[in-house]
């Protein structure tokens, strides 16, 4: 049953009070009409709890705007929403259409730095997050006393004489809950074995990220990516006010899963709103996504913490191949990934998660 307005509601009770479910929650298929976002199709979700978010159907069903009761959850960049028409695949051109947002998908044949691998030039973070989905299905329905909303579609990364990888994604939310589920299936529909790199670029921002905010995670190891991250590495789990000229720090986490095989990490701000607290958690299966990359960027205006579950690191495909850690998909082979992202709406919720994780702070 839906938990709304301080009580539980059956389907019949709730429908007796409204003329249309959109009165309290729902999902709509919309299109932007101006600027570089013109033509961008989105699915606008409202769960009834105050969790509202947009799924970019024109960009691999990534999640851009996300808020909870008027409070932003995700960092948004200066580019704003950009239609795939403006994607620049060369070098670091990915950054010209990196709008931030709650989830940006990276891959499917390169993640991280632009590089040249076996003679092939690969742009930063790959192509998949800048490709439009097809076979789109945006809808909602009752399942007993639960109302489910979803956006589903297929995004293909392919080239003649090259890869043919298909991402089928379903983003789901439930009436009365402040959680989002992403269910992905990546299939190799080509005739040759193909390199496969995959990362969820989850970008959390102010007011979740603020002075006094911190990272919560289970036990594990933490390795700085480079000299910039090595400096001040003991502070990787704490965050301060924006600082001009800050150089990004990236950390590689190897975290212990729980008894069900899941890893849960969060960025929380216990001091938010006079101590009422606010946070966002990410939950995923360790066997599907063995790496967690933390992006700590405390610069003015680029003030963001990235929690990035992945099957690789972020130094580019050439480095992954050199290390012997590069993943592949054989013809006909597929891999499934499931990620849950949810709101921690109060100090009590933050403390409950903190106790369950045996946190690093």
With contact defined as beta carbons under 8 Å apart, do 300 and 247 qualify? no
Helices (H), the chain: 11-17, 227-230, 272-275, 317-323, 347-357
What pLDDT sits at residue 36?
A: 95
Backbone angles phi, psi at 240, to 5 degrees: -125, 180
What pLDDT sits at residue 358?
A: 67
Single out the residue of 305, 347, 348 nearest to residue 211, CA to CA.
Answer: 305
The pTM of the full predicted model, rounded to 2 decimals, is 0.97
User: Which H helix or E strand runs over 335?
Assistant: strand 334-344
| Topology adopted by domain 2-357 | Beta-galactosidase; Chain A, domain 5 (2.70.98)
Tokens of 196: 């496969």
The domain ranges of the chain are: 2-357
Q: What is the DSSP string of 154-173?
A: EEEEE-TTS-EEEEEEEEEE
d(CA 84, CA 173): 25
Backbone angles phi, psi at 306, to 5 degrees: -100, 130
d(CA 52, CA 148): 14
For 6, residues 6+ apart whose C-beta sits below 8 A from its C-beta are none
Rg (CA), the chain: 20
CA distances to 72, 85, 245 from 39, in Å: 24, 10, 35
d(CA 189, CA 156): 10
Tokens of 150: 């979803």
Single out the residue of 124, 78, 79 nearest to residue 97, CA to CA.
Answer: 79
Cα 355 vs. chain centroid, distance in angstroms? 24
Q: How many CB atoms lie within 10 A of CB 174?
A: 22
Residues of the chain with pLDDT under 50: 359-361
Strand-pair partners of 164: 158
For 209, residues 6+ apart whose C-beta sits below 8 A from its C-beta are 75, 239, 267, 269, 303, 304, 305
What pLDDT sits at residue 361?
A: 44
d(CA 103, CA 202): 5
């Amino acid at each position: 049953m839906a938990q709304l307005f301080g009580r539980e509601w059956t389907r019949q009770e709730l429908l007796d009070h409204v003329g249309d479910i959109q009165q309290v929650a729902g999902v709509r298929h919309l299109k932007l009409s101006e600027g570089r976002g013109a033509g961008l199709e989105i699915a606008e979700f409202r769960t009834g709890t105050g969790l509202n978010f947009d799924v970019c159907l024109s960009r691999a069903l990534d999640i851009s705007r996300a808020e909870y009761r008027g409070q932003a959850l995700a960092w948004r960049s200066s580019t704003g929403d950009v239609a795939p028409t403006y994607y620049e695949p060369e070098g670091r051109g990915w950054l010209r259409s990196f709008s931030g947002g709650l989830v940006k998908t990276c891959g499917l044949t390169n993640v991280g730095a632009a590089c040249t691998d076996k003679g092939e030039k690969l742009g930063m973070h790959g192509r998949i997050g800048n490709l439009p989905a097809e076979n789109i299905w945006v809808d909602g329905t009752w399942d007993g006393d639960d109302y489910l909303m979803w956006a589903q579609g297929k995004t293909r990364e392919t080239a003649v004489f090259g890869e043919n990888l298909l991402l089928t994604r379903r983003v789901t939310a439930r009436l009365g809950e402040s959680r989002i589920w992403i269910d992905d299936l990546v299939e190799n529909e080509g005739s040759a074995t193909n390199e496969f790199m995959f990362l969820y670029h989850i970008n959390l921002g102010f007011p979740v990220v603020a002075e006094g905010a911190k990272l919560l995670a289970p036990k594990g190891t933490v390795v700085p990516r480079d000299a910039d991250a090595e400096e001040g590495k003991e502070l990787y789990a704490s965050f301060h006010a924006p600082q001009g000229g800050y150089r990004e720090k990236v950390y590689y986490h190897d975290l212990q899963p729980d008894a069900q095989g899941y890893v849960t990490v969060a960025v929380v701000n216990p001091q938010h709103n006079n101590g009422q607290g606010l946070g966002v958690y990410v939950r995923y299966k360790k066997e599907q996504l063995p790496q967690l990359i933390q992006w700590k960027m405390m610069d003015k205006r680029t003030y963001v913490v990235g929690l990035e579950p992945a099957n690789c690191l972020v130094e580019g495909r050439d480095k992954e191949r050199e290390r012997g850690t590069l993943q592949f998909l054989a013809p006909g082979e597929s891999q499934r990934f499931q990620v849950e992202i949810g709101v921690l709406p109060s100090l009590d919720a933050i403390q409950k998660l903190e106790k369950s994780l045996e946190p690093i702070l």
